[in-house]
Structure 1
Protein backbone atom coordinates (compact mmCIF):
# COMPACT_ATOMS: atom_id res chain seq x y z
CA UNK A 1 0.00 0.00 0.00
CA UNK A 2 1.42 3.43 -0.93
CA UNK A 3 2.55 5.21 2.21
CA UNK A 4 2.40 2.06 4.30
CA UNK A 5 1.06 1.46 7.77
CA UNK A 6 2.07 4.85 9.21
CA UNK A 7 0.13 6.70 6.50
CA UNK A 8 -2.89 4.42 6.91
CA UNK A 9 -2.88 4.93 10.68
CA UNK A 10 -2.61 8.70 10.13
CA UNK A 11 -5.61 8.63 7.76
CA UNK A 12 -7.62 6.62 10.25
CA UNK A 13 -6.70 9.00 13.08
CA UNK A 14 -7.98 11.97 11.07
CA UNK A 15 -11.17 10.13 10.14
CA UNK A 16 -11.83 8.94 13.71
CA UNK A 17 -10.47 12.04 15.52
CA UNK A 18 -7.68 10.60 17.64
CA UNK A 19 -4.06 11.74 17.94
CA UNK A 20 -0.97 9.61 17.31
CA UNK A 21 2.43 10.02 18.94
CA UNK A 22 5.54 7.90 18.41
CA UNK A 23 8.19 7.34 21.07
CA UNK A 24 11.47 6.00 19.72
CA UNK A 25 12.86 3.93 22.60
CA UNK A 26 16.52 4.64 23.29
CA UNK A 27 17.02 7.63 21.01
CA UNK A 28 20.26 9.47 21.71
CA UNK A 29 19.92 12.39 24.12
CA UNK A 30 22.37 15.01 25.25
CA UNK A 31 24.01 13.71 28.46
CA UNK A 32 22.43 16.54 30.47
CA UNK A 33 18.98 15.47 29.22
CA UNK A 34 19.30 11.93 30.56
CA UNK A 35 17.21 11.25 33.64
CA UNK A 36 19.14 10.34 36.76
CA UNK A 37 18.96 6.70 37.79
CA UNK A 38 17.35 6.28 41.20
CA UNK A 39 19.17 3.90 43.57
CA UNK A 40 18.53 0.28 42.63
CA UNK A 41 17.70 1.04 38.98
CA UNK A 42 20.74 -0.60 37.43
CA UNK A 43 20.83 -3.60 35.16
CA UNK A 44 21.82 -7.07 36.33
CA UNK A 45 25.45 -6.43 35.35
CA UNK A 46 25.53 -3.04 37.05
CA UNK A 47 24.81 -1.18 33.80
CA UNK A 48 22.95 2.12 34.17
CA UNK A 49 19.22 1.74 33.56
CA UNK A 50 19.42 4.67 31.10
CA UNK A 51 22.30 4.56 28.66
CA UNK A 52 23.38 7.42 26.40
CA UNK A 53 23.84 4.91 23.57
CA UNK A 54 20.94 3.75 21.41
CA UNK A 55 18.92 1.23 23.41
CA UNK A 56 18.49 -1.49 20.82
CA UNK A 57 16.66 -4.67 21.71
CA UNK A 58 18.72 -7.72 22.64
CA UNK A 59 18.42 -8.84 19.01
CA UNK A 60 19.85 -5.49 17.83
CA UNK A 61 16.59 -3.98 16.60
CA UNK A 62 15.34 -0.41 17.05
CA UNK A 63 12.20 -0.14 19.17
CA UNK A 64 9.23 2.23 19.10
CA UNK A 65 5.97 2.78 20.96
CA UNK A 66 2.97 4.38 19.28
CA UNK A 67 0.30 5.95 21.49
CA UNK A 68 -3.23 6.57 20.24
CA UNK A 69 -5.45 9.02 22.12
CA UNK A 70 -8.36 6.58 21.97
CA UNK A 71 -10.57 5.78 24.96
CA UNK A 72 -8.96 3.96 26.65
CA UNK A 73 -5.52 5.07 25.49
CA UNK A 74 -3.83 2.50 23.24
CA UNK A 75 -0.07 1.86 23.23
CA UNK A 76 1.53 -0.58 20.79
CA UNK A 77 5.16 -1.68 20.39
CA UNK A 78 7.17 -2.16 17.23
CA UNK A 79 10.72 -3.18 16.43
CA UNK A 80 12.73 -3.15 13.23
CA UNK A 81 16.18 -2.77 11.69
CA UNK A 82 15.79 1.04 11.58
CA UNK A 83 13.84 3.75 13.39
CA UNK A 84 11.41 3.97 10.47
CA UNK A 85 11.06 0.19 10.40
CA UNK A 86 10.23 0.13 14.11
CA UNK A 87 7.65 2.90 13.64
CA UNK A 88 6.06 1.03 10.72
CA UNK A 89 5.83 -2.17 12.79
CA UNK A 90 4.27 -0.25 15.70
CA UNK A 91 1.73 1.29 13.30
CA UNK A 92 0.91 -2.16 11.85
CA UNK A 93 0.40 -3.51 15.37
CA UNK A 94 -1.86 -0.56 16.23
CA UNK A 95 -3.92 -1.09 13.07
CA UNK A 96 -4.27 -4.79 13.89
CA UNK A 97 -5.36 -3.93 17.45
CA UNK A 98 -7.93 -1.41 16.19
CA UNK A 99 -9.29 -3.97 13.72
CA UNK A 100 -9.67 -6.55 16.51
CA UNK A 101 -11.37 -4.02 18.82
CA UNK A 102 -13.74 -2.97 16.02
CA UNK A 103 -14.70 -6.63 15.54
CA UNK A 104 -13.45 -6.75 11.95
CA UNK A 105 -11.23 -9.26 10.19
Structure 2
Protein backbone atom coordinates (compact mmCIF):
# COMPACT_ATOMS: atom_id res chain seq x y z
CA UNK A 1 0.00 0.00 0.00
CA UNK A 2 1.57 3.25 -1.13
CA UNK A 3 0.58 6.57 0.37
CA UNK A 4 0.88 9.53 -2.00
CA UNK A 5 3.49 12.13 -1.11
CA UNK A 6 2.06 15.42 0.15
CA UNK A 7 4.22 18.50 -0.47
CA UNK A 8 3.65 22.00 0.90
CA UNK A 9 6.11 24.85 0.44
CA UNK A 10 6.47 27.15 3.45
CA UNK A 11 8.57 29.71 1.56
CA UNK A 12 10.34 29.89 -1.78
CA UNK A 13 13.22 27.93 -0.23
CA UNK A 14 11.58 25.68 2.41
CA UNK A 15 9.51 22.60 1.53
CA UNK A 16 7.62 20.23 3.84
CA UNK A 17 6.75 16.72 2.65
CA UNK A 18 4.78 13.90 4.25
CA UNK A 19 4.60 10.36 2.86
CA UNK A 20 2.35 8.86 5.53
CA UNK A 21 5.28 7.83 7.75
CA UNK A 22 7.80 10.70 7.83
CA UNK A 23 7.42 14.47 7.88
CA UNK A 24 10.48 16.05 6.23
CA UNK A 25 11.60 19.66 6.06
CA UNK A 26 13.96 20.64 3.24
CA UNK A 27 15.68 23.95 2.59
CA UNK A 28 16.82 25.02 6.01
CA UNK A 29 20.40 24.47 7.17
CA UNK A 30 19.88 20.74 6.69
CA UNK A 31 17.05 18.24 6.23
CA UNK A 32 14.89 17.38 9.23
CA UNK A 33 12.93 14.10 9.49
CA UNK A 34 10.14 13.46 11.99
CA UNK A 35 8.77 9.91 12.03
CA UNK A 36 5.04 9.57 12.69
CA UNK A 37 5.62 7.63 15.95
CA UNK A 38 7.08 10.87 17.37
CA UNK A 39 3.59 12.40 16.91
CA UNK A 40 4.56 15.58 15.05
CA UNK A 41 1.92 18.27 14.69
CA UNK A 42 2.00 21.69 13.09
CA UNK A 43 1.08 24.90 14.89
CA UNK A 44 0.82 28.29 13.22
CA UNK A 45 1.36 31.78 14.56
CA UNK A 46 -0.02 34.77 12.70
CA UNK A 47 0.97 38.38 12.47
CA UNK A 48 3.62 40.39 10.76
CA UNK A 49 6.17 37.54 10.83
CA UNK A 50 4.21 34.25 10.93
CA UNK A 51 5.91 31.14 12.27
CA UNK A 52 5.23 27.45 11.78
CA UNK A 53 6.20 25.21 14.69
CA UNK A 54 6.55 21.44 14.50
CA UNK A 55 5.71 20.12 17.96
CA UNK A 56 6.65 16.54 18.86
CA UNK A 57 4.58 14.39 21.21
CA UNK A 58 7.58 13.43 23.36
CA UNK A 59 8.82 17.00 23.56
CA UNK A 60 10.84 19.05 21.18
CA UNK A 61 9.98 21.85 18.79
CA UNK A 62 11.24 23.18 15.50
CA UNK A 63 10.12 26.64 14.35
CA UNK A 64 10.65 28.63 11.17
CA UNK A 65 8.89 31.34 9.21
CA UNK A 66 6.32 30.76 6.48
CA UNK A 67 4.78 32.94 3.78
CA UNK A 68 1.17 33.85 4.69
CA UNK A 69 -0.12 33.13 1.17
CA UNK A 70 1.05 29.50 1.59
CA UNK A 71 -1.02 28.89 4.73
CA UNK A 72 -3.76 26.95 2.88
CA UNK A 73 -1.33 24.30 1.63
CA UNK A 74 0.39 24.09 5.00
CA UNK A 75 -2.95 23.62 6.78
CA UNK A 76 -3.85 20.82 4.34
CA UNK A 77 -0.57 19.09 5.20
CA UNK A 78 -1.25 19.66 8.93
CA UNK A 79 -4.70 18.04 8.55
CA UNK A 80 -3.25 15.01 6.78
CA UNK A 81 -0.56 14.72 9.43
CA UNK A 82 -3.17 14.92 12.21
CA UNK A 83 -5.23 12.15 10.59
CA UNK A 84 -2.11 9.96 10.51
CA UNK A 85 -1.02 10.43 14.12
CA UNK A 86 -0.45 7.24 16.12
CA UNK A 87 -2.72 8.32 18.99
CA UNK A 88 -5.65 8.12 16.54
CA UNK A 89 -4.84 4.50 15.69
CA UNK A 90 -5.37 2.90 19.06
CA UNK A 91 -2.70 0.77 20.69
CA UNK A 92 0.92 0.00 19.92
CA UNK A 93 2.45 -2.77 17.88
CA UNK A 94 5.60 -4.23 19.45
CA UNK A 95 6.61 -5.99 16.24
CA UNK A 96 6.40 -3.02 13.86
CA UNK A 97 7.00 -0.25 16.42
CA UNK A 98 4.06 1.54 14.83
CA UNK A 99 0.55 2.07 16.06
CA UNK A 100 -2.35 0.09 14.68
CA UNK A 101 -5.86 1.10 13.82
CA UNK A 102 -7.47 -2.32 13.50
CA UNK A 103 -6.91 -2.67 9.77
CA UNK A 104 -4.07 -0.53 8.41
CA UNK A 105 -0.37 -0.30 9.08
CA UNK A 106 2.22 1.96 7.41
CA UNK A 107 4.15 -1.13 6.32
CA UNK A 108 1.13 -2.70 4.60
CA UNK A 109 0.61 -5.36 7.29
CA UNK A 110 -2.86 -6.53 8.24
CA UNK A 111 -3.71 -5.68 11.82
CA UNK A 112 -5.02 -8.52 13.93
CA UNK A 113 -6.26 -6.06 16.53
CA UNK A 114 -4.00 -7.66 19.13
CA UNK A 115 -0.77 -5.74 18.58
CA UNK A 116 0.69 -8.64 16.57
CA UNK A 117 0.20 -7.92 12.86
CA UNK A 118 0.55 -10.46 10.09
CA UNK A 119 1.92 -9.85 6.58
CA UNK A 120 -0.46 -8.53 3.90
Q: Please state which structure has a larger fraction of its residues in helix.
A: 1
Larger-gyration structure (1/2): 1
Q: Please state which structure has a larger fraction of its residues in strand.
A: 2
Which band: TM-score by shorter chain?
Answer: 0.3 to 0.5
Relative to the length of structure 2, the TM-score reads 0.32
Structure with bigger RCO (C-alpha 8 Å, 6+ apart): 1
